[in-house]
Amino acid sequence: MTTATGHPTELLLDHHQRAKIAKAYDSPSWWYDVRGFFILTFTYRATLWEQLRLFAGCLGREHLEVAIGSGTLFAMILKRARRLGCAPERVVGFDYAERMLAGAVHRFAGDRAVELGLGDATRMRFADASFDSVAVANALHCIPDAAAALREMQRVLRPGGRLAANVLLHPRGGWPWRPLAERINRWGQAKGILDRPYAEDEIRGLVLAAGFRIERAWVSGNAWNVVAVKPG
């Protein structure tokens, strides 16, 4: 793991996994951002403001950003936190898609508080109790083994540390929103950027099984939002 101006670390994945990720994320990072806006609007049916409030309000002194992607959303989150005077002193961010991470490296170049690297959410290289907060924005449903990722996030958090996450739920609502969201989800699964959406009870159970205590949780559109704490 290096600063944003350095080179990303090696990823603990085999050749087949790396090839699959490269194929799924074969677009430049700017297109990922444009595509993400439409997915946020029509699949999550959530607003950017809701996400900024959720994630900017849960940043600890040393923060881990899981699946940072191109860094566009986190840059807005960090800017808001700095404006409010509650920004972390140190941020570590990682992603398993090299093209997405390249966008984040470019975006945070020169920001000495931000360290970036390649990484796997289910096999983190960090020591136990390394961070005061951890967030996974718009990505937990993209990880094939979400349960393992949640256990890892709980492991690297310090007692009393917070997790902030949003998770894509099975589409709800009437026409045209539900059919449109279902179609986008099928495309995402075929593309390899979405593992699957969840039922609310199922994802809540995974968070609890990982050892978290849920502080607050709510549904917004087709997304389940959660702030959870590692018991101290």
Per-residue pLDDT tens over the stretch 132-181: 999 999 999 999 999 999 999 999 999 999 999 999 999 988 788 888 88
Please indicate whether residue 34 or residue 224 has the higher confidence score (pLDDT). 224
Residue (of 102, 120, 122) closest to 4 by Cα position: 102
For the stretch 28-50, pLDDT in tens is 665 566 566 656 665 777 788 89
Is the pLDDT confidence value at 115 over 80? yes
Whether the model pTM is above 0.85: yes
Sign, CA torsion 87/8/197/160? negative
Tell me what pLDDT residue 28 has.
Answer: 63
Question: What architecture is domain 2-229?
Answer: 3-Layer(aba) Sandwich (3.40)
Share of the chain above pLDDT 90, in %: 64
Q: Where are the domains of the chain?
A: 2-229
β-bridge partners, 135: 65, 164
Contact 132, 190 (CB under 8 A): no
Task: Give mean pLDDT, residues 108-112.
Answer: 96
